[in-house]
Homo-oligomer: A and B are copies of this chain.
C-alpha cells in the first residue's frame, strides 16, 4: 500500500487527517507487525429493566496499554413500545452507529491518502428486524437484523467515480463491516453467585 501511495502526489494533511503521520504509522506497523495487535474493552453495568451503561477507556495496542483521553460512558435501553424506559437508544441502533462511523472514518483516511478533499459525507443506515425472534414467538425468525442498507452521500473535489471508489475501498477495509457481514466467535463466561 505504501508503494502505491508514494507513486501519487506527496501526502499532506487533508480532511483533518495528518496524512504523513498516518502513512508513517502504516509503515512502522508494516516493519513491526506486533504493533498491530489491539485489544479493545468495555465494561457494562445493569441499571434496571433493560437499561444498562457501558464505560470505555483503556485498550491495549501499539505494543502497550493505552488510555483514551477520557472515560466515555454510554447507556442503552429499550423504547417504551418495547416495555423499556427509553433512557438511550437500543443496542441494535448502536450497531448502526458502529457501522456508519467505521465506514466514515475509513472514507476520511482513504480520501486524504488519495489526495481528495472532502466537502461532505453523510450516511443513512436502516436495519430491518422481525422481533418474533427475540420475543421467542418463532424459531424460524432470526434474532438479529435480516438486512442493513447504508446510503452514502459524498461530496468532494474529485469526480463522482473517484468519490464512489473511496466509499468502496472503505468497506473493503472496515472492521465493523467485516464483523457485521461475516460474524465471528463470541465466548461468554458467567460467574453467578
Residues of A within 8 A of B (CB): 1, 15-18, 21-22, 25-26, 29-30, 33, 36-52, 54, 56, 59, 61-62, 66, 68-69, 72, 74-86, 88-109, 112, 118, 120-138, 141-155, 160-161, 163-164, 167-168, 171, 173-193
Contact = CB atoms under 8 A, between A and B. Distances in A.
B48 A127 contact: no
Given A36-B132, A134-B175, A15 B48 contact: yes
Contact of A190 (B167, B176, B180, B192): B167
A8 to B, nearest CB: 14
Nearest to A152: B190
B76 A182 contact: no
